[in-house]
């Protein structure tokens, strides 16, 4: 029976056998005081029936400034997926952010009163709070998704590629292994898609970039290429030997925009042999829906932007499915460089019309990459 430990920075330790989660407990790292600040104060273990098996969902909520509280839970329940570690850092619900946004945001050019400067200062402060909350929310989504992939990549069902020989006959025809091959890996991918809505697709790539499988299988059938070694997430995961967040790309199986989180799987004591890449594409629809639930006032707009400036999600429902670039904005450039703040600048809509806007920005650093949150308030 093979056993391994899975660590989450500042959070829980999972002890996992081939098919069992046998231990879950908190830890402290006395050698790094900074990690102590991000210790979690509560853990919630969900057990849910699925296909006559049990799956374990673990959600940890981290509160800065508190000492770690010891929690220990054990289970010997047989599971399909070893564990979903959903790491939430200083999160607030979208309802809370909606209330803050509706109450706080004011027209920035309402400056004719005697309290003009105070109004401007208050508006800037509230805008900074909202962009920071949105940045935390986006970071949570991405970190949770990465944790799901990282944990499940440790399963023997995932890192076993015993059906790879079939690619010699099926790669050019089926764009991967047959639908009825490696059903255990396909089942795990399906379980992730069923229980974690941030993903639109889960797939496995061979060390040379050839597609091994994709789920849903319909996406595998629709692939227009059989090798994805040219993608930045594939190259980034191999180069860094770590979970990597790719840039916004157009899917070769759906034609839709997506961003992929990729986890490299290695074999050997020194991780010298690459087994493959276990990856998932983020569903932008989920992020769009959350931003649109803010119900921002007219003339105000919030967007999530990828590292290259491509829009990921939009609070404006009429523009959410339109590809846009914000790479020309100084606010975006500042955020990608790790800065937060605000600027007054020209904002182009769909690359055509432009208007003066007060732009508040905040970086989102996660998995070797940096995205940005922009809150734009049209000058009137």
- Parse the chain into domains and list their residue ranges: 4-90, 156-284
Kindly state the tokens that stand for 305: 């932007």
Q: Which residues pair with 258 in a beta bridge?
A: 249
Give the C-alpha separation, 227 to 293, whole Å: 38
Sign of CA dihedral 218, 190, 15, 149: positive
Query: What pLDDT does residue 298 have?
Result: 84
Model pLDDT for residues 315-334, shown as the tens digit of each residue: 999 888 888 999 999 999 99
The CATH homologous superfamily of the domain defined by 156-284: PAS domain (3.30.450.20)
Which residues of the chain fall short of a pLDDT of 50? 1-92, 100, 103-116, 119
Query: What pLDDT does residue 97 have?
Result: 54
Query: What pLDDT does residue 367 have?
Result: 92
Query: What pLDDT does residue 168 have?
Result: 95
Query: What pLDDT does residue 303 have?
Result: 95
What are the backbone dihedrals phi and psi of residue 367, each rounded to the nearest 5 degrees, phi first? 50, 60
Give the C-alpha separation, 179 to 78, whole Å: 25
Query: What pLDDT does residue 120 have?
Result: 54
For the sheet with 12-16, list strands across it: 4-7, 12-16, 21-26, 72-73
Cβ-based neighbour number of residue 19 at 10 Å? 16
Query: What pLDDT does residue 263 have?
Result: 97
């Amino acid at each position: 029976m093979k056993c391994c430990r899975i660590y989450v920075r500042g959070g829980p330790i999972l002890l996992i056998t081939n098919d069992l989660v046998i231990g879950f407990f908190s830890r402290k790292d006395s050698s790094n005081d900074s990690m102590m600040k991000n210790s979690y104060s509560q853990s919630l273990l969900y057990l849910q029936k699925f296909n006559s098996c049990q799956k374990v969902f673990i959600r940890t909520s981290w509160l800065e400034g508190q000492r770690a509280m010891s929690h220990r839970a054990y289970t010997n329940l047989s599971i399909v997926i070893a564990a979903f570690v959903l790491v939430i850092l200083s999160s607030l619900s979208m309802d809370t952010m909606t209330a803050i946004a509706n109450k706080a945001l004011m027209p920035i050019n309402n400056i004719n009163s005697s309290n003009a400067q105070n109004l401007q200062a208050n508006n800037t402060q509230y805008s900074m709070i909202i962009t920071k909350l949105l940045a935390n929310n986006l970071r949570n989504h991405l970190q949770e998704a990465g944790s799901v992939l990282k944990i499940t990549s440790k399963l023997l069902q995932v890192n076993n590629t015993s059906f790879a020989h079939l690619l010699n006959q099926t790669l050019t025809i089926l764009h991967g292994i047959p639908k009825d091959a490696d059903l255990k890996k396909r089942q795990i991918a399906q379980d992730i898609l069923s229980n974690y809505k941030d993903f639109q697709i889960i797939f496995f790539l061979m060390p040379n970039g050839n597609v091994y499988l994709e789920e849903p299988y319909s996406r595998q059938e629709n692939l227009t290429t059989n090798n994805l070694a040219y993608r930045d997430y594939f190259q980034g995961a191999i180069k860094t030997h770590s979970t990597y967040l790719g840039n916004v790309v157009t899917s070769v199986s759906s034609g839709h925009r997506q961003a992929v989180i990729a986890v490299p799987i290695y074999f050997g004591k020194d991780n010298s042999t690459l087994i493959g890449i276990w990856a998932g594409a983020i569903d932008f629809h989920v992020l769009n829906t959350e931003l649109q639930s803010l119900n921002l006032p007219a003339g105000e707009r919030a967007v999530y932007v990828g590292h290259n400036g491509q829009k990921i999600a939009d609070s404006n429902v009429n523009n959410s499915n339109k590809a846009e670039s914000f790479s020309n904005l100084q606010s975006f450039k500042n955020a990608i460089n790790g800065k937060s703040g605000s600027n007054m600048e020209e904002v182009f809509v769909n690359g055509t019309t432009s208007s003066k806007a007060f732009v508040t920005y905040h970086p989102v650093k996660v998995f070797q990459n940096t995205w940005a949150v922009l809150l734009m308030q049209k000058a009137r």
